[in-house]
Amino acid sequence: MRGFNGMTIAQVCLLGFNGNKDEACGLQWRTELKPHEDHKPEFYENIFKKIAQAAKVEIVNISKYVFTPQGVTLLCLLKESHMSFHTFPEKGIVSFDFFTCGSVSPNVSLEILKKELPHSTVIKKDFDRDSVSSIMPLPENEDEWSSLNIVFITKLGKIRKNNLEDFRNIQANGKIAMKLDKGDEIVSVKLLKGNDDIMINSFLGKSLRVNSKKIRLFKGRSSKGVKGINLKNNDKVISLSILKPNIISSNKDEMKSKEEFILTITENGYGKRSSSYEFRETGRGGQGIINISTSERNGNVAASFPINAEDDIMLVTNKGQMIRVKVSEIRIAGRNTQGVRIFKTASDEKVVTAVRLADSNE
């Protein structure tokens, strides 16, 4: 994808699952401001209200986070889904998203955005009911693609590995990435390098770690894949993580330098960091081991992914509340433990997503 002033940001692969392609459900609008302006959060809140009125949708709550030294993220939770603004004042860029679950087209927001945000350049992307489930940046240098694999995981635990070259020529209307059973959908897609390990994480707190070389490489895109994890009790896959293989060495300093940590957050706002060494490598198709205790206090798992101590995370609830937390402030605990409170939620409130905000030096 080309950014403003011809700068390459990244190539992006959008991967979705079955739906109704005749209904528009989402819009992404990115603009270069003219002139560059760093508006206050209230400015964008007012735009939310104007769009909501025009689209005849109801605002539940608006959350915001102001970055240092500049920039702001705002999330507007709607009864019909959500809108969001992300600003990058240092580059003069504003990104806007509007997704609806109802019959209203998000395109009603366009005229308001154009009027409120004088601009010199616009990038617009529409999404239909063939819903996007994963957005994956690809290496800009396509010569690297033949040495990379791509792995898919579905909600019901099916996994498939392909060479990235199988997805080199994708038309504007997309390409079938994976066949799915009825009721299944793609949860996550990741790039694999060399002999990376794959960790599959479930809603009920199970994780299964398998080396990617134990998953056969598929040559086509027409198969449903193979069983990655054996799910029980109506469990479902919520995420897929890529890890470096565990190192077994008598040199403690070497092991420590290669140690990775997995952050797991539950619906009720509890969480912990656990060492990757606590998750042993097994074969695919097993039931996995306990990642975190999904007790009544904790609730089920909202997110689980690798993290660095220098990172921050942002948590968002179904009531539109948002919090940013330093990872270094989250306790390191054993695998089969409950963790500590990170976000105090109301009795009828659940954490629905957690996002890693990587250290700027990474």
Q: Where are the domains of the chain?
A: 20-128, 132-357
Percent of the chain whose predicted confidence (pLDDT) is above 90:
40
pLDDT digits over 293-337, tens only?
A: 999 999 999 999 999 999 999 998 988 888 899 999 999 999 889
Question: What are 2's two structure tokens?
Answer: 């080309």
Map residue 297 onto helix, strand or coil: coil
Q: What is the pLDDT of residue 203?
A: 96
Correct CATH for 20-128 of 3.40.50.720, 3.50.50.60, 3.60.90.10, 3.30.450.20: 3.60.90.10
Query: Mean pLDDT over residues 121-126, rounded?
Result: 66
Q: Is the peptide bond before 139 cis (omega within 30 degrees of 0)?
A: no
- The CATH number assigned to the domain with range 132-357 reads 2.120.10.90
For the chain, give the mean pLDDT. 82
- pLDDT band at 273, cuts 50/70/90? very high
Residue with tokens 């990642």: 291
pLDDT at 86 > cutoff 80: yes
- Tell me the DSSP string of 137-203: EE-S-GGGGGGEEEEEEETTSEEEEEEGGGGSS--TT--------TT--EEEEEEEETT-EEEEEET
pLDDT tens-digit series, residues 193-204: 888 999 999 999
pTM score, whole prediction: 0.67
Convert the pLDDT of each residue in 51-68 to its tens digit.
999 888 889 999 998 887
Percent of the chain residues past pLDDT 70, beyond the cut = 81
pLDDT for 62: 92
- β-strand partners of 85: 74, 96
- What pLDDT is attached to residue 343? 92
Distance (Å, whole) CA 300 – CA 122: 40
The DSSP bridge pattern shows strands 59-66 and 72-78 to be: antiparallel
pLDDT reading at 346 higher than 60: yes
Cα separation of 147 and 149, whole Å?
7
DSSP-based three-state secondary structure for 80: coil
With DSSP H G I counted as helix, E B as strand and the rest as coil, what are the percentages for the chain, rounded to 5? 15, 40, 45
**Which residue from 355, 273, 283, 259 is spatially nearest to 314, judged by alpha carbons?**
355
Helices and strands per DSSP (H, E), number in the chain: 3, 24
H or E segment to which residue 111 belongs: helix 110-116
pLDDT of residue 271: 95
Residue 35 is predicted with a pLDDT of: 52
